[in-house]
């Protein structure tokens, strides 16, 4: 099958207001001017692609939808050409609505508090340095493919208690589930089956011999009635941690390094003033938010004067909200010491990302260790930067010279 | 008006972004689930007024109130 077989369904976009497509190459390459144009014209636009989908681009419209679980369901959180069957235990709690959402989320929160993730920091620092050891002598590397990519996957493997050496498997599943499946549903099925079989093996092994890790913690968790979670719930939550915890942070680290590689003033400033790291990390999260979520409209309503009808999906663009100049002055500029930055990179409302504290720690450590050892670096002009397609945006090829 | 400030986190609005704790750990703490609350009765010690406003300005959920006694 040639690539052109998909062309009729995704012709190039010429009218973003009535026919947007987040898989269009222009969006993949540089979505910011598109969002700015749409935000000025209409806070919520619609496309007939993907069987019908809305896109809010203002902070206020995104906020309203994120808070409104009555009209907008999380049972589907990725916008695809097809609408796969809804699974009872998709990936709780990200695919849960109230009232099931809260108990499912409460179970996962304690291992992800700032204090809990701080315990992982030494391991993450070691992972970063092991990776840098692998390429520093070369004077050049792909900062996305040889560095950013491996940090979150190894950290989450360490947390779950599965071999860090299996990182390649996870990266492959995630690529198929989040990117290839948008246009080829069979990728979703096979990758999910392989992932399920892998984790069931780990769950079974822990029934025989419990271990001190997050999988065992989940298996020992009890719901309100005191009953343990069934294997399918544990499996769904593991699926979520893997999918949500890897290419998201990998994208955020990659985008931060991309910005620093092409912006000498910010690079020099962050090296000279490492105390700026906390605000810099928040600013990278705002300016290059990797994650766009989705909702499914389940009841007719209105958002910012725009009618919204059931049967359609919503591309819930936290990245576009974070570029709204009504909330963030100079929204298109990266300001390392931005004082007021209530960004929505980790979502808003009940579905706030469980892993936000982990992601911040990984980003901070990844940038600190890189800048300590490679304070001077720039983009390799011989290679293009390539960005991921779909709902998690970050550089997938980022050749730098140092 | 004594001008003494108090902070308060609305537990129904807080979603555990933990920005307040990072920016003003003297004024806020997190529970076992990572959700925030003010320390003690929320009274802001002298010299920490700016941090109270900074925390409020950075809460993505608008969950923090700063009031004058």
A275 touches chain B (CB under 8 A): no
Closest residue of chain B to A110, computed from CA coordinates: B33
Residue A7 pLDDT > 80: no
Contact check, Cβ <8 Å, A357/B18:
yes
Dump pLDDT digits (tens) for A293-331. 999 999 999 999 999 999 999 999 999 999 999 999 999
Kindly state the tokens that stand for A390: 């779909």
Residue A215 pLDDT > 90: yes
Average pLDDT, chain A: 92
Average pLDDT, stretch B18-47?
97
Residue given tokens 């706030």 in the structure block? A352
* Residues contacting A369, CB < 8 A, separation 6+: A125, A128, A129, A132
Report the distance separating Cα A150 and Cα A131, nearest Å: 8
Angle at A253 between CA A386 and CA A376, to 5 degrees: 85
pLDDT for A89: 66
Helix H or strand E segment including A178: none
pLDDT for A304: 92
Report the distance separating Cα A276 and Cα A269, nearest Å: 9
pLDDT for B2: 56
Closest residue of chain B to A341, computed from CA coordinates: B58
Residue B32 with chain A: CB contacts under 8 Å: 109-110, 113
Average pLDDT, stretch A100-111?
90
Return the closest-CA partner of residue A139 out of A380, A402, A373, A383. A402
**More confidently predicted of A235 and A401:** A401
Dump pLDDT digits (tens) for A51-85. 999 999 999 999 999 999 999 999 998 888 888 77
Residue A3 pLDDT > 80: no
> Hey, is A297 helix, strand or coil?
strand
pLDDT for A209: 92
Interface mutation target, options A98, A110, A114, A359, chain B, most CBs of B under 10 Å: A114
Kindly state the tokens that stand for A349: 């409302």
Average pLDDT, stretch A356-382?
98
pLDDT for B64: 98
Closest residue of chain A to B14, computed from CA coordinates: A349
* Residues contacting A133, CB < 8 A, separation 6+: none
Dump pLDDT digits (tens) for A24-40. 999 999 999 999 999 99
Dump pLDDT digits (tens) for A234-243. 888 888 888 8
Residue A113 with chain B: CB contacts under 8 Å: 18, 30, 32-34
Report the distance separating Cα B37 and Cα B55, nearest Å: 12
Helix H or strand E segment including B9: strand B5-9
Contact check, Cβ <8 Å, B33/A340:
no
Helix H or strand E segment including A368: helix A356-373
CATH of the structural domain B5-68, one choice from 3.30.70.20, 3.10.20.600, 3.40.50.1470, 3.40.30.10: 3.30.70.20
Distances in whole angstroms, Cα of residue A269 to Cα of each of A213, A320, A353, A374: 39, 27, 30, 14
- pLDDT band at residue A185 using 50, 70 and 90 as cut-offs: confident
Contact check, Cβ <8 Å, A113/B32:
yes
Residue A1 pLDDT > 60: no
Residue ranges per structural domain of chain B: 5-68
Residue-wise DSSP of A50-80: GGSEEEE-SHHHHHHHHH-TTTEE-S--S--
- pLDDT band at residue A2 using 50, 70 and 90 as cut-offs: very low
Residue given tokens 């271990």 in the structure block? A211
Average pLDDT, stretch B27-56?
97
B60 touches chain A (CB under 8 A): yes
**More confidently predicted of A130 and A188:** A130
ipTM above 0.85, yes or no: yes
Cβ atoms of A84 and A104 within 8 Å: the answer is no
Dump pLDDT digits (tens) for A259-297. 999 999 999 999 999 999 999 999 999 999 999 999 999
Rounded to a whole number of angstroms, the distance between the first and last alpha carbons of chain B is: 7
The model carries a pTM of 0.94
> Hey, is A194 helix, strand or coil?
helix
A286 touches chain B (CB under 8 A): no
């Amino acid at each position: 099958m040639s690539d052109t077989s998909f062309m009729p369904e995704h012709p190039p976009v010429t009218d973003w207001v009535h026919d947007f497509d987040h898989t269009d190459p222009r969006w993949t390459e540089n979505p910011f001017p598109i969002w700015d144009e749409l935000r000025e014209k209409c806070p919520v636009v619609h496309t007939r692609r993907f069987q019908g989908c809305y896109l809010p681009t203002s902070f206020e419209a995104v906020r309203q939808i994120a808070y409104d679980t009555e009209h907008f369901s999380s049972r589907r959180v990725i916008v695809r050409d097809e609408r796969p069957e809804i699974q009872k235990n998709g990936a709780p709690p990200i695919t849960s609505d109230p009232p099931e959402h809260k108990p499912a989320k409460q179970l996962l929160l304690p291992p992800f508090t700032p204090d809990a993730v701080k315990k992982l920091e030494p391991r993450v620092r070691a992972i970063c340095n092991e990776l840098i050891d692998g390429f520093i002598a070369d004077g050049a590397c792909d900062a996305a493919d040889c560095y950013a990519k491996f940090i979150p996957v190894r950290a989450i493997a360490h947390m779950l208690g599965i071999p860090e050496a299996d990182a390649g498997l996870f990266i492959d599943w995630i690529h198929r589930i989040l990117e290839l499946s948008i246009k080829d549903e069979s990728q979703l099925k096979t990758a999910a089956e392989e992932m399920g079989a892998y984790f069931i093996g780990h769950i079974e092994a822990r029934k025989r011999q419990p271990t001190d890790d997050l999988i065992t913690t989940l298996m020992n968790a009890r719901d309100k009635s005191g009953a343990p979670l069934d294997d399918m719930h544990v499996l769904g939550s593991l699926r979520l941690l893997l999918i949500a915890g890897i290419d998201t942070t990998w994208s955020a680290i990659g985008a931060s390094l991309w910005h620093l590689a092409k912006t000498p003033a910010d690079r020099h400033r962050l090296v000279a003033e490492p105390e700026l790291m906390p605000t810099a990390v928040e600013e990278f999260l705002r300016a290059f938010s990797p994650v766009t979520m989705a909702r499914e409209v389940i009841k007719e309503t209105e958002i910012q004067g725009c009618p919204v009808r059931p049967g359609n999906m919503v591309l819930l663009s936290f990245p576009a909200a974070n570029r709204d100049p009504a909330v963030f002055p100079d929204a298109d500029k990266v300001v390392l010491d931005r004082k007021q930055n209530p960004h929505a990179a980790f979502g808003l409302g009940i579905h706030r990302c469980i892993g936000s504290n982990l992601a911040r720690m990984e980003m901070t450590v990844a940038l600190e260790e890189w800048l300590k050892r490679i304070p001077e670096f720039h983009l390799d002009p011989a290679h293009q930067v390539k960005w991921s397609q779909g709902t998690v945006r970050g550089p997938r090829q980022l050749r730098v010279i140092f | 008006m004594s001008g003494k400030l108090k902070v308060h986190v609305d537990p129904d609005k807080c979603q555990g972004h933990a920005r307040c704790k990072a920016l003003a750990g003297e004024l806020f703490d997190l529970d076992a689930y990572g959700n925030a609350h003010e320390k003690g009765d929320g009274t802001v010690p002298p010299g920490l007024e700016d941090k109270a406003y900074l925390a409020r300005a950075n809460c993505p959920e608008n969950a923090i109130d700063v009031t004058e006694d």
